[in-house]
Chain A
Amino acid sequence: MGDFSSGHMIYLLNGLMWTVLLSMLAMLLGGIAGFAVMLARISQRRWLRRISLGYVQIVQGTPLLIQMFLMYFGLGVAGIEVPALVAAALAMMIYSSAYLGEIWRGSVLSIDNTQFEAAETLALTRWQSLVDVILPQALRIATPPTVGFTVQLVKNTSLASVVGFLELTRSAQVINNSLFEPFLVFGIAAVLYFAVCYPLSLWSRILERKLNAGRRQA
């Protein structure tokens, strides 16, 4: 126990920093790609809806761990050497784009179709109707589940340890390999994950309560 030094702690905090960075990258890239998935899923073109549905089903129907392997080793086999961070970020972008796309599609579809009709009756384009009328209303509905998904995402970055990315879980493994204090080392790692995730889930719950309160008033 006495062997755990401040140097180890700094090593773990360094891992935490990479975990947070990977989460943010996954959320940012996944958010952009997820928006495109959402647009494709509600498109008026049937082939686009079909392709995007297939994409979502494949991504949601396979483990993130396998997606990580495929991205890291698959790109390597294809002759494209990428750093572990890039491979992990790309895999998590694909993973989150499917889930965010579905969350946001549900939020958009929960807005009454008559809002679309009213906008299009005023000669707005479909895009203008979406941006000015539908999305601002859907945003309120989409925020709590989106924040909730972010919590899942932060925890799932631990899977990036398998491709050798030195995030929090991998850092804890490295320290434990020399100290053999699994309960202590992984306990601290758990506390650090919790310190990031708990405020997020708290925020998500507050947002949800606000949304429900708003609905009751209306």
Chain B
Amino acid sequence: MPAAVKLENVVKRFGALEVLKGISFDIEAGQVVALIGASGSGKSTALRCINRLEQIQSGTIEVCGHRVEDPALDPRSLRQDVGMVFQSYNLFPHMTVGENVMLALKRVKRMDRSAARKVAERVLRQVGLAEKIDNYPEQLSGGQQQRVAIARSLAMAPKVMLFDEVTSALDPKLTGEVLRVMEDLAKAGMTMVVVTHEMAFARRAADKVIFMHQGHVHEVGDASILTTPETPELREFLDHDL
């Protein structure tokens, strides 16, 4: 089975600053991968390269058969297969929850309103927010907004979902409700790449943990490396974290 996501020697620079110094890893379909590391280690940048929110300088990225680094690739065909959820939710504030979920279904998948509404109802039920379909984002808590953002991404039926520190703006209680939704997704077999500081979540849900340090992939393993790290850098990172 080919990898769902495969990075090889990926280099990403912002001007003179080299953020990714030739990283490689691969993710199989159905795997949940936790990308961890200190701020500035390059983990969010790596995630953003996967759906080409950032262009890479060298190396190759293959996602569900798309050659991401190929300039000829239409990013929209890639992004139909790759969903993304952001730290700051990024819901559209002038639209209701339902409209947020339905927008891409109507514009990209060309569904009519009633078909899109059915999908919206289904994915909102999945994240436990069916009754909020006609509310505006500002009427919801942060945790509910983030669950709507997950539903909005899920509605497009992506093959891979990227999560960029999605609970960092939330208090512990709201974090819990978002993580539960993500664990349900993981159990349902979604391929997930999760940039996170929630080590407890990584231990519970991750099939694979990638520790990034100063622009390199420093240590890779299953969730057990979070309890018995091999490298001193990961040990130090985990000590500081708790």
B-binding residues in A (CB < 8 A): 114-115, 117-125, 128, 132-133, 136-137, 218
- Per the bound structure, the CA–CA distance linking A118 and B86 in Å amounts to 8
Contact call A114/B107, Cβ cutoff below 8 A = no
Residues in B with CB closer than 8 Å to A122 are 79, 103-104, 108, 152-153, 156
From A115, A118, A124, A218, give the contact of B107 (CB < 8 A).
Answer: A124
Task: Please indicate the chain B residues that have their CB under 8 angstroms from the CB of A132 in the complex.
Answer: 92, 103, 107
Q: Which of B51, B103, B156 has the most CB of A within 10 A?
A: B103
Q: Which residues of A contact B51 (CB under 8 A)?
A: 121
Cβ–Cβ contact A114 & B86, under 8 A: yes
> Which residues does B use to contact A, with CB under 8 Å?
51, 53, 75-77, 79-80, 83-84, 86, 88, 90-94, 103-104, 107-108, 138, 152-153, 156
Q: Shortest distance in angstroms between A31's beta carbon and chain B's nearest beta carbon?
A: 22
Q: A123-B80, A123-B156, A128-B107 are in contact. Are A117 and B90 (CB under 8 A)?
A: yes
Q: How far is the CB of B88 from chain A (nearest CB, A)?
A: 6
Given known A-B contacts A121-B53, A123-B79, A123-B108, A115 and B92 have beta carbons under 8 A apart: yes
By beta carbon, the residue of chain B nearest A140 is B94
Do A121 and B103 contact each other (CB < 8 Å), given the known contacts A137-B94, A218-B138?
A: no
From A118, A128, A136, A137, B90 is in contact (CB under 8 Å) with A118
CB pair B90–A114 under 8 Å, yes or no, is: yes
- A118 partner residues in chain B, CB cutoff 8 A: 86, 90-92
Chain A neighbourhood of B94, CB < 8 A: 136-137
